[in-house]
């Protein structure tokens, strides 16, 4: 009897496992807790006359142009000055493969800034999905920061979630992009932390459910035959 029970438990465990598993940690170093950009590519187009206020940096609290970086959680966050020469662009990206029934991207960002002088063009921050050749597939989020005489402003941490189910089965590039259209119109600070991509457990397939049912039915049949033999032996 014990052998039958053990076989049943093993059978069900294997079949349930085949129904799908949670994908965890799809994004590498989403909280920057390595203290650097491990898993990420961080770039700017500095050069040819384009300069930047503060380059891409990972640090703990107290960093940045205002000395007020403050991780959303843990001990580290990533940031840059979100200011520089006209035409400056910042990029932070990572390639990920999504293999699940659904996928949700969660991001956290914070912008601190103060205007100086006059300006007519907004600074842009975007969250994009690209293919691995940098072709834009989807713009998930865009914010515009108006610097023209702006008072000191701290947005605090802003949390966003995005459904990426349409990209299941693909390898995509998650990109955080910033554009500075005018030169040094006010110091700023853009901070990122706690970036995650979670994939839901797929529903058990009909074949898996059939297998579980057949396994249970087979165990029941074995028990009935065993009971019948015992009754015949005592008759």
- The CATH number given to whatever domain includes residue 97 is 2.60.120.260
How much is the CA Rg of the chain, to the nearest whole Å? 27
Q: Are residues 218 and 105 in the same domain?
A: no
Top pLDDT among 180 and 1 is at 180
Q: Which pair of structure tokens corresponds to residue 77? A: 């966050």
How, if at all, do strands 171-180 and 88-97 pair? antiparallel
Position 228 scores a pLDDT of 64
Position 232 scores a pLDDT of 59
Give Cα 180 to chain centroid, integer Å.
25
Mean pLDDT of 3-12: 46
Mean pLDDT of 95-116: 96
At residue 125, does pLDDT exceed 60? yes
Q: Are residues 140 and 40 in the same domain?
A: yes
Top pLDDT among 207 and 151 is at 151
Q: Which pair of structure tokens corresponds to residue 157? A: 């941490």
* Confidence at 207, pLDDT banded by 50, 70, 90: very low
Q: Are residues 146 and 63 in the same domain?
A: yes
- Range(s) of the domain holding residue 12: 2-16+205-234
Report the percent of the chain where pLDDT is more than 70.
74
Mean pLDDT of 11-18: 42
Q: For residue 200, what are the contacts with CB-CB under 8 A and spacing of at least 6?
A: 22, 100, 101, 102, 103, 104
Mean pLDDT of 112-141: 97
Q: Are residues 137 and 213 in the same domain?
A: no
Q: Are residues 228 and 142 in the same domain?
A: no
Q: Which residue has the tokens 């799908």?
A: 20
Report the percent of the chain where pLDDT is more than 90.
71
Tell me the C-alpha to C-alpha distance, in Å, between residue 139 and each of 45, 61, 74, 79: 21, 30, 28, 21
Position 199 scores a pLDDT of 83
Position 223 scores a pLDDT of 57
Max CA pair span of the chain: 104
Q: Are residues 153 and 70 in the same domain?
A: yes
* Confidence at 101, pLDDT banded by 50, 70, 90: confident
* Spatial separation of the C-alpha atoms in residues 96 and 23, rounded to whole Å: 12
Would you give the end-to-end CA distance of the chain in angstroms?
Answer: 22
Q: Which pair of structure tokens corresponds to residue 123? A: 């600074």
The least confident of 7-16, 48-57, 82-91, 124-133 is 7-16
Tell me the C-alpha to C-alpha distance, in Å, between residue 202 and each of 15, 170, 199, 208: 13, 16, 9, 12
| Domain count within the chain | 2
Top pLDDT among 25 and 218 is at 25
Q: Are residues 41 and 98 in the same domain?
A: yes
pTM for the model = 0.79
At residue 230, does pLDDT exceed 90? no
């Amino acid at each position: 009897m014990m052998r039958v029970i053990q076989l049943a438990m093993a059978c069900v465990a294997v079949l349930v496992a085949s129904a799908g598993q949670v994908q965890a940690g799809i994004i590498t170093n989403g909280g920057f807790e390595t203290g650097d950009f491990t898993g990420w590519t961080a770039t700017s187009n500095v050069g040819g006359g384009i300069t930047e206020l503060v380059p891409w940096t990972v640090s703990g609290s107290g960093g940045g142009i205002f000395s007020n970086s403050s991780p959303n959680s843990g001990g580290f966050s990533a940031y840059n000055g979100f200011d520089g020469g006209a035409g400056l662009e910042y990029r932070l990206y990572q390639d990920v493969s999504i293999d699940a029934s659904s996928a949700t991207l969660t991001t956290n960002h914070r912008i601190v800034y103060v205007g100086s002088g006059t300006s007519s063009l907004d600074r842009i921050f975007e969250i994009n999905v690209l293919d691995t050749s940098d072709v834009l597939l989807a713009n998930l989020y865009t914010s515009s920061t108006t610097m023209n005489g702006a008072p000191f402003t701290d947005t605090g941490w802003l949390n966003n979630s995005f459904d990426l189910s349409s990209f299941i089965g693909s390898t995509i590039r998650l990109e955080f992009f910033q554009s500075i259209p005018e030169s040094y119109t006010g110091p700023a600070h853009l901070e990122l932390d706690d970036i995650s991509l979670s994939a839901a457990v797929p529903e058990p397939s009909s074949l898996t459910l059939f297998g579980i049912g057949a396994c249970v039915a087979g165990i029941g049949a074995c028990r009935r035959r065993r009971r019948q033999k015992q009754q015949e032996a005592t008759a």
